[in-house]
A and B are shown apart, each in its own frame.
Chain A
Amino acid sequence: MFEFISSLFSALSASKKVLGMNSRNLTYIRPHNLKNARILADNKIESKKIFKKNNIPTPALIAKISSHEELEQFNWNLLPDSFVLKPNSGLGGSGILIVYARKKGAQNVWIKSNGKTIAIKDLFNHISHILDGAFSITNSADIAFFEERLKISKELKPYSYRGIPDIRIIIYNKVPVMAMLRLPTKSSDGKANLQQGGIGVGIDIATGTTTTAVQGKNKIIDYIPKTRMLLRGIKIPHWNEMLEHSVRAQEVSGLGYLGADIALDRDNGPVFLELNAQPGLSIQIANMAGLKDRLERVEGLKIKNAAHGVRVGKNLFGGEIEQELEETSGKKVIGSIEKIIFNGKNNKSIEVDAKIDTGAYSTSIDIDLAKKLGFSATIEAFEKINLNQFDIKPNNGSIIEKEFLKKYKNTIPFLETVAVVFAASGSSIRPVIKTSLVIDGEKIVAKINIVNRSNLKYPAIIGKRNLHKFLIDVSK
């Protein structure tokens, strides 16, 4: 009964860390995104103007068409070889037309992203639809505009199918709180929209490195479907710049709770796509973390400027990668020097600093440490044996080991086996004992060599035979 209540209680407190629709609307959007700011966010041309005024890079505006009259008189020769046609108040990416190149040998015929051609007549119809409000949020008359087409960056190209990936960053109180990379896939038809089957990859705010990933609404994935492209550990280029641009965009837009959409252009680096006044909640699944918890942590902080906000965000919401890695791989991340507890005889355990060395095959400890652990008798008995009777050569290790054990196993207490080491600096035979040790809370039973390490810095070295439950972070 008590267990049931406590699990119910922990479920309840866990659910308080996740942001739901009710809370998003009532606690964050309503009080922090006032009407004027929301109108600005829905107006792409106006947003663009504000970005430009504040030196936030954004795709260049080529031309706009505000009425049927302007459409009739439009000079089609103004259009470059590639461009994007958008409705000003389009909803959820609807009505967007991407043109890749001008068709060779034809006057004003272009090629679309799906390879089909499009002529002025088709553009005219599409724009006419936009003007009538076919794609607009309110179904009322709209404006069509042409903007520069972005080119996909080298770094992200391998991860996306056809379209351009973008990065969503949630900014609250001038602090970046959560971010995800959205990748267009084959099943989303080149659109980076999660609802349509795109992939959302969580990003660690501190390092700009991707963590966990979700496809569509709820499917947790490690790789891009049907490929060997690992989604974890992608380093987002220009990460700092993106964070700072987003915080500044929040300042100038007046949206207190902002979803900033940024793309990475091959030539121009990060460019600001649009402001989002009602950012979705799936970003939490991509990051496997609750947004509400994070929003509450930045609530009321006094942030002086964009750089300060970025610093605060990085300090608060970073370093989850390691934990992430541990959970997804089932392996713990340890450093190259770790505190290890060795369990000896008579319930004796000693903690020492040990070197984690993937270059070594097995684990060795110093004679002195072995004595302290209660293996004095083993060492004394071993030292009485004349080792010169064994002639160590390359490849005869296992023969010597067998011979040694046959002769002496019963005379040496606690001896598990011996290790025969053939090395240029001096070949040796070492006693091997079996005991348990604890690395970062993991108990491991290991065969350990005893060797003289008195002239070395660390009294123990952990070799790769005992490290298969761990990943080693050399910077730790």
Chain B
Amino acid sequence: MENQFELNPLIELIYSQGLPEQMVVVLLLFPIIATFVVLLRQVFGLQAFGIYTPTIITVVFMAMAHKSLDDLAYPIAIYIFVIVIGMLMRFVFKKLRLLYLPRVALNLTIITFSVLFILTIAGFFGMTEFSFFPILILITIVEKFVLVQIEKGTKVAASLAFETLFIAIIGYLIMTPITPIGQYISIGVQEYPYLILFIIPVNLILGKWTGLRVTELIRFKEILKKIKS
């Protein structure tokens, strides 16, 4: 991204210390993404693996597909692969009756090999530029998944995984500098970083929000119809 806009002096100071621009922008966006996830969960009622997971996945998507929207296919493929394998392994491990930790370790092993396989295939398509940490983060999703799977069953875990993915994709599309909105936002945080403080009152309001979520309006629509009449 070219610096055609006027940087805030604070951001300028940070850059002058040699910090990479992409990292600074992602860090600045991080609280905004987190608040966005809160909004989707508290007000719209989308479920997900906590708040950290969808937030960090959004960042992973931004890091892995920072050049073109098409590159998003790879992290999404890895994500789905990890979840599907985690799901299948459940049925294998159920018979073996293993303890939790060794089971997750086995899961990780199988998933690591599978991810290596995907990356090799991606190489065939000319995609070789992967950084290490985003992929590692994607792999660790499996622990979240297995945890929910044990507690609430495969169906719930799968739907949470799907909603997490959905939130991350929406978050990515809004935040990545590739899209027009994302461009405004990423320039905005560099020009006026103090605007980020605006999320404090937003979260204070969301933290006291007791209204029905959008999904609950759907869930309870029969009751609402009845009360209205």
Which residues of chain A have a CB within 8 Å of any CB of chain B?
10-11, 14-15, 17-18, 20-23, 26-27, 91-92, 94, 125, 129, 132-134, 137, 139, 217-218, 220, 281, 284-285, 288-290, 327
B212, A26: Cβ atoms closer than 8 Å? no
For the complex, count residues of B whose C-beta is within 8 A of A. 25
A18, B210: Cβ atoms closer than 8 Å? no
Which residues of chain B have a CB within 8 Å of any CB of chain A?
42, 45, 97, 99-100, 147, 150-152, 208-213, 216-217, 219-220, 222-224, 226-228
Tell me which residues across on chain A come within 8 A of B150, comparing CB atoms.
134, 139
> Of A26, A129, A137, which contacts B210 at CB under 8 A?
A26
A-B contact pairs, 28 of them (CB 8 A): A14-B224, A14-B227, A15-B211, A15-B212, A18-B212, A18-B227, A20-B211, A21-B216, A22-B211, A27-B210, A91-B151, A92-B151, A92-B152, A132-B99, A133-B100, A134-B99, A137-B151, A139-B100, A139-B150, A220-B222, A281-B216, A284-B220, A284-B223, A285-B219, A285-B222, A288-B223, A290-B220, A290-B223
Report how far A133 CA is from B99 CA in the complex, Å: 9
A22, B222: Cβ atoms closer than 8 Å? no
Tell me which residues across on chain B come within 8 A of A288, comparing CB atoms.
222-223, 226
Tell me which residues across on chain B come within 8 A of A289, comparing CB atoms.
223, 226-227
B210, A23: Cβ atoms closer than 8 Å? yes
Q: Given contacts A11-B228, A134-B100, is CB(A22)–CB(B213) below 8 Å?
A: yes
A15, A133, A289: most-surrounded residue (chain B CB, <10 A): A15
Tell me which residues across on chain A come within 8 A of B45, comparing CB atoms.
21
B97, A18: Cβ atoms closer than 8 Å? no
Q: How far is the CB of B135 from chain A (nearest CB, A)?
A: 26
A18, B208: Cβ atoms closer than 8 Å? no
> Of A10, A92, A137, which contacts B228 at CB under 8 A?
A10
Q: How far is the CB of A339 from chain B (nearest CB, A)?
A: 25
> Of B147, B208, B212, B222, which contacts A20 at CB under 8 A?
B212
Q: Which residue of B lies closest to A327 (CB)?
A: B226
B228, A22: Cβ atoms closer than 8 Å? no
B222, A26: Cβ atoms closer than 8 Å? no
Report how far A327 CA is from B100 CA in the complex, Å: 51
B208, A11: Cβ atoms closer than 8 Å? no
Q: How far is the CB of A387 from chain B (nearest CB, A)?
A: 52
Q: How far is the CB of B167 from chain A (nearest CB, A)?
A: 17
> Of B42, B97, B220, B223, which contacts A22 at CB under 8 A?
B42
Tell me which residues across on chain B come within 8 A of A139, comparing CB atoms.
100, 147, 150
A21, B222: Cβ atoms closer than 8 Å? no
B211, A14: Cβ atoms closer than 8 Å? no
B213, A125: Cβ atoms closer than 8 Å? no
Tell me which residues across on chain A come within 8 A of B42, comparing CB atoms.
22
> Of A18, A26, A92, A125, which contacts B220 at CB under 8 A?
A18
Report how far A290 CA is from B227 CA in the complex, Å: 8
Q: Given contacts A91-B151, A288-B223, A289-B223, is CB(A20)–CB(B216) below 8 Å?
A: yes
A23, B227: Cβ atoms closer than 8 Å? no
A26, B100: Cβ atoms closer than 8 Å? no
Q: Given contacts A23-B210, A91-B151, A218-B219, is CB(A18)–CB(B224) below 8 Å?
A: yes
Q: Given contacts A92-B152, A134-B100, A217-B219, is CB(A20)–CB(B213) below 8 Å?
A: yes
Q: How far is the CB of A197 from chain B (nearest CB, A)?
A: 11
Tell me which residues across on chain A come within 8 A of B209, comparing CB atoms.
22
Tell me which residues across on chain A come within 8 A of B219, comparing CB atoms.
217-218, 285
Q: How far is the CB of B106 from chain A (nearest CB, A)?
A: 15
List 17 other contacts, CB 8 Å, given A23-B212, A137-B151. A10-B228, A11-B228, A14-B227, A14-B228, A17-B227, A18-B224, A20-B216, A21-B213, A27-B210, A91-B151, A125-B97, A139-B147, A281-B216, A284-B220, A285-B223, A289-B223, A290-B227
Q: Which residue of B lies closest to A214 (CB)?
A: B222
B211, A23: Cβ atoms closer than 8 Å? yes
Q: How far is the CB of A321 from chain B (nearest CB, A)?
A: 15
Q: Which residue of A lies closest to B217 (CB)?
A: A15
Q: Which residue of A lies closest to B47 (CB)?
A: A21
A129, B213: Cβ atoms closer than 8 Å? no
Report how far A27 CA is from B207 CA in the complex, Å: 12
Report how far A129 CA is from B99 CA in the complex, Å: 8
Report how far A18 CA is from B222 CA in the complex, Å: 11
Q: How far is the CB of B52 from chain A (nearest CB, A)?
A: 18
B210, A20: Cβ atoms closer than 8 Å? yes
Report how far A137 CA is from B42 CA in the complex, Å: 24
